[in-house]
Amino acid sequence: MASQRDIRRRIGAVRNIKQITRAMQFVAASKLKRAQDATLAARPYSDKIDEVIADLAQVLSGEDHPLFRKPADGKRLIVFITTDRGLAGPLNTNAIRFALREIVEHSENGGELSLVTVGRKGRDAMRRARLPVEAHFSGFGDRPTFADVTALARLVTDDFLAGTYNRVDIIYTRFVSTLVQRPTMDRLLPMEPHEDTVGIPGNQFIFEPGPSAVLQQLLPRYIATRIYQAVLENTASEWSSKMIAMKNATESAEDLIDDLTLSYNKVRQANITREMIEIASGANAR
C-alpha cells in the first residue's frame, strides 16, 4: 500500500492538473464564442457571392465554361483541414479516418489523387500514411482571416483552370452543435450552384466588362470564401471539441481526487489503528 505521503503528493498533482484543464476549458469556451461569431459575420458575404455565382451561371450556362464543365481526365485534389494543435478530443482522429476512407475508396476506383493540407495534424497523418502532400498551410491561428486563405484559393483555382485537376473537394469538420462535430466533404470545383440560391428571376444584369470576365475575377474569391467558411467551421469545431475534452478531463480529475482522498483516509485510519494497537500492547506488556 502506498504511504500516506505518496498519496498526498498524488492528490496535489491531480489537483494541479484539474486546475489546468479547468482553465483550458474556460479559454476554449470563450474562443468558441469568438469562432461562432466569426462564422456568423462571414455569412452575408458568402450568401451574396453564392447569389452572384447563380446569376452568372444562368447567363453562362449556354456557353461551355471551364468552371462548370467536368473534364474527363486529370487528378482529383482534396483540401484537408485539421487543427494545428492537439488536445481536442476525437476531432482530428475522426477527420483523419474520414479522409483516409475517402482516399482509399477513390484509389480503388483507380483514380489518381493529390492532397493539400491545412493544419499540422492532418499533414502529419497523411505523411505517416505515405500519401503525397502537394502543399501545406498552417498557422491560421485562433482567428483565421480571409487573407490567410487567399493563397490557398489561388493555388486551387489556377491548377484547376490549368487542367491539373478535374475535381476539387474539401474535407473539414462541420460544427453542428457544441456536442456534435461531423467530418464533412464538400465539392469545390467544378462548380455546382446551389438550387436554393438562384438569382433574381427575370432580372437581366449588365455585366461589366462581361460575364466571363466578371466570373474570372469572382472565382478565386468564391473558392476562397468556401475555404474560409470551412476553416471557420473547423475552428469552431476545434474549440467546442476542446472545451468538451477539457470538461471531461476536469471531471475525471475530480473523480480521481475523490478516490485518492478515500484511500488516503483509509491509510491514515489504518496507521492510527496500528499505532493504537502498538500503544495498547505496549501498555499491556508492562
Partner 1 sequence: MSLLLEIVTPEKLAYRDQVDEVVVPGIDGQLGILPHHAPLLTVLGVGELRIRKGPEDEYFAIVGGFLQVRPDKVVVMAETADMASEIDLERAQQARRDAEAALSSAYVEPADMANARAALERALLRIRVAERRHHEGPRHRA
CB of 46 to partner 1, least distance (A): 7
CB of 158 to partner 1, least distance (A): 12
Cα-Cα-Cα-Cα dihedral sign, residues 150, 152, 154, 160: negative
Question: What is d(CA 153, CA 113) in angstroms, rounded to the nearest whole number?
Answer: 18
CB of 54 to partner 1, least distance (A): 12
Peptide bond before 209: cis, by omega within 30 degrees of 0? yes
**Sites of contact with partner 1 (CB under 8 A):** 38, 41-42, 44-46, 48-49, 52, 55-56, 145-147, 150, 200, 203-209, 213-214, 217-218, 221, 224-225, 228
CB of 149 to partner 1, least distance (A): 9
SS3 163: coil
Q: How many angstroms from the chain centroid is the CA of residue 3? A: 45
| Complex with partner 1: residue 46 or 252, whichever CB lies closer | 46
Question: What is d(CA 188, CA 192) in angstroms, rounded to the nearest whole number?
Answer: 8
Measured CA to CA in angstroms, residue 246 lies from 25, 253, 272 at distances of 5, 10, 38
The b-or-e profile of 6-33 (16+ CB within 10 A means b, else e) is ebbebbeebeebbeebbebbeebbebbe
Asked if residues 95 and 126 have their Cβ atoms less than 8 Å apart, the reply is: no
CB of 135 to partner 1, least distance (A): 13
| Complex with partner 1: residue 38 or 249, whichever CB lies closer | 38
| Complex with partner 1: residue 167 or 226, whichever CB lies closer | 226
| Complex with partner 1: residue 218 or 256, whichever CB lies closer | 218
CB of 167 to partner 1, least distance (A): 25
Residue with C-alpha cell 493544419? 119
| Complex with partner 1: residue 138 or 216, whichever CB lies closer | 216
Sequence-distant (≥ 6) Cβ neighbours of residue 199 within 8 angstroms: 51, 52, 54, 55, 58
The phi and psi torsions of 166 (rounded to 5 degrees) equal -105, -5
| Complex with partner 1: residue 186 or 254, whichever CB lies closer | 186
CB of 188 to partner 1, least distance (A): 16
E strand map for 44-180: 75-81, 113-118, 133-137, 165-175
CB of 30 to partner 1, least distance (A): 19
| Complex with partner 1: residue 38 or 125, whichever CB lies closer | 38
| Complex with partner 1: residue 45 or 68, whichever CB lies closer | 45
The helix or strand, by DSSP H or E, that contains position 36, with its residue range, turns out to be helix 4-41
